[in-house]
Amino acid sequence: MKVEEIFQVYKENIMPTYSKVPLVFVKGKGSRLWDINGRAYLDFFPGWGVGNLGHCHPKVMQGVRDQISKLIFVPNNYYHPFQAKLAKELIYLSFPGKVFFANSGAEANEGAIKLARKFGKGRYEIITFENAFHGRTLAALAATGQKKYQAGFEPMPEGFKQVKFNDINAVKQALTEKTVAVMLELIQGEGGVNVADKDFVLALRKLCDEKNLLLIIDEVQTGIGRTAKMFGYQHYGITPDIMTLAKALGGGLPIGAMIARRDLSDLLAPGMHASTFGGGPVICRAALGVFKAMQKEKILKNCQNMGEYLLEKLKLLKNSFAVIKEIRGMGLMLGVELAVEGKPIVEKCMLQGLLINCTHDKVLRLMPALNVTKKEIDKAIGILEGVIASEAKQSCF
Ligand SMILES: *Cc1c(COP(=O)(O)O)cnc(C)c1O
């Protein structure tokens, strides 16, 4: 199919749920993507947070290739060795407990919400935060504290209360005898790369312990090394009661996982919750490939080093351009808050071969693969600098 034809077929046959960029991609490797015309792009937002190892990592491909040649699917009433292996790895890397496998972030969060309600025995309210993002299914959407995503789909399922992020008193004021859990991202990704304060998270942990509430941490975007630790909570010296994962866990294939601490982890007994595809053999091989690569290639160390390098470069840009208001984030999850709309900058970067994202209107989000190189960062910064300079000139900054 030719490019114009592809656009036309999408228009006629696919629901218009995404605002789309007119690029057709056919190949990827590491931090590079190639479009249908053979043009290469530097991808600094691979797969919306999926591509922590970049595109088509050999360790992921190897596991997947091997598995599809043997057995593609096993339903969850049987056993297979690689689900066992992946669950063991996840628990080893996180905290004592058990895993439930799903297929996406929203689904992992739905599972967490159901588990919290089961634990609550009648207590069901979950406190979430303004500008949070937990997914698009109805309960996850109710947990998502952004009206722009909820508009038109009311009524939202009951039992969610949004309060101000990083404000422990707001949480305390929202508590009722029905409250069962607090759910949050440690860095709000879609909400503008807002980092949770350490004091706030410690206070939340304490509050949850005192009131017998579950602390649910949504690590769908921050997990799997994105912040230079395997999971974001490991920066805070706390352990969640429930953690959810998805995005980068499958190295590009769909998976979600909910991990609950040991004394909660048998509450969902046979028949209470399920997923047909959750934790199938192919995806488990992909995820095991991700962890193998992370270990063998010292990915966390590279994320730490390249995160510091990118942050330093961005700070230099901030010193040169008043249009940049703030740089924030952790590891290789960095936000550049602008005084202007970010969309024109994203578009101009794209024309010059650099793919980035803008979230919350004014925050450029950079989340390159964790195995990104200095050279790639230099190239990206060069493009970004040129674009911001030309924008700044136009808007008199
Ligand atoms: C992307 C995301 C989700 C939703 O994941 P899907 O796989 O799209 O359902 C949930 N929580 C966070 C923090 C996310 O970034």
Mean pLDDT, residues 87-94 taken together:
98
Q: Pick the residue whose CA is nearest to atom 10 on ligand 1.
A: 134
Is the previous residue joined to 155 through a cis bond, with omega within 30 degrees of 0?
A: yes
Q: How far is the CA of 225 from the centre of ligand 1 (A)?
A: 16
Q: Pick the residue whose CA is nearest to atom 6 on ligand 1.
A: 105
> How confident is the model at residue 391, as a pLDDT?
84
Helix (H) or strand (E) holding 357: strand 357-359
Q: Which atom of ligand 1 is nearest to the CA of 188?
A: 13
pLDDT one-digit tens code per residue, 152-192: 999 999 999 999 999 999 999 999 999 999 999 999 999 99
pLDDT one-digit tens code per residue, 236-281: 999 999 999 999 999 999 999 999 999 999 999 999 999 999 999 9
Q: Which atom of ligand 1 is nearest to the CA of 247?
A: 7
Q: How far is the CA of 393 from the centre of ligand 1 (A)?
A: 36
247 φψ region: left (φ > 0), alpha (ψ -120 to 50), beta (else) = left
* Residue 71: Cβ within 10 Å count: 12
pLDDT value at 205 more than 60: yes
The CA distance from 234 to 95, in Å, is: 10
> How confident is the model at residue 393, as a pLDDT?
75
Pocket mutation for ligand 1, best pick of 17, 110, 128, 133 (most atoms within 8 Å of C-beta): 133
The CA distance from 212 to 206, in Å, is: 10
The CA distance from 37 to 48, in Å, is: 23
Q: How far is the CA of 132 from the centre of ligand 1 (A)?
A: 10
The CA distance from 136 to 179, in Å, is: 23
Q: Six-digit token pair at 270?
A: 């046979």
Contact 388, 323 (CB under 8 A): yes
pLDDT grade for 54, boundaries at 50, 70 and 90: very high
- How do the domains of the chain map onto residue ranges? 58-296, 299-395
Q: How far is the CA of 330 from the centre of ligand 1 (A)?
A: 18
Q: Report percent pLDDT > 70 for the chain.
A: 99
> How confident is the model at residue 284, as a pLDDT?
98
The CA distance from 31 to 249, in Å, is: 17
> How confident is the model at residue 392, as a pLDDT?
76
* Residue 373: Cβ within 10 Å count: 15
Q: Which atom of ligand 1 is nearest to the CA of 185?
A: 13
Among 3.90.1150.10, 3.80.30.20, 3.90.650.10, 3.40.50.1100, what is the CATH number of 299-395?
Answer: 3.90.1150.10
127 φψ region: left (φ > 0), alpha (ψ -120 to 50), beta (else) = beta
pLDDT value at 143 more than 90: yes
| Nearest alpha-carbon partner for 231 in 242, 199, 59 | 242
pLDDT value at 33 more than 60: yes
> How confident is the model at residue 396, as a pLDDT?
53
Mean pLDDT, residues 78-93 taken together:
98
Pocket mutation for ligand 1, best pick of 129, 137, 221, 258 (most atoms within 8 Å of C-beta): 221
Instruction: From residue 260, give the alpha-carbon distance in Å to each of 75, 158, 264, 354.
Output: 22, 23, 6, 39
Q: How far is the CA of 220 from the centre of ligand 1 (A)?
A: 6
pLDDT grade for 73, boundaries at 50, 70 and 90: very high
- Return the CATH fold of 58-296: Aspartate Aminotransferase; domain 2 (3.40.640)
CATH topology identical between 58-296 and 299-395: no
Q: Pick the residue whose CA is nearest to atom 11 on ligand 1.
A: 134
pLDDT one-digit tens code per residue, 266-320: 999 999 999 999 999 999 999 999 999 999 999 999 999 999 999 999 999 999 9
- Classify residue 153 by its DSSP letter: S
pLDDT value at 46 more than 70: yes
Q: How far is the CA of 200 from the centre of ligand 1 (A)?
A: 23
Is the CA virtual torsion 93, 95, 101, 102 positive or negative? negative
Pocket mutation for ligand 1, best pick of 220, 224, 249 (most atoms within 8 Å of C-beta): 220
Q: What lines the ligand 1 site, CB under 6 Å?
A: 49, 104-106, 109, 133-135, 185, 189-190, 218, 220-221, 246-247
| Nearest alpha-carbon partner for 128 in 74, 182, 204 | 182
pLDDT one-digit tens code per residue, 348-370: 999 999 999 999 999 999 999 99
Least confident of 59-63, 177-181, 391-395: 391-395
Contact 28, 43 (CB under 8 A): yes
pLDDT grade for 395, boundaries at 50, 70 and 90: low
pLDDT value at 397 more than 60: no
* Residue 189: Cβ within 10 Å count: 26
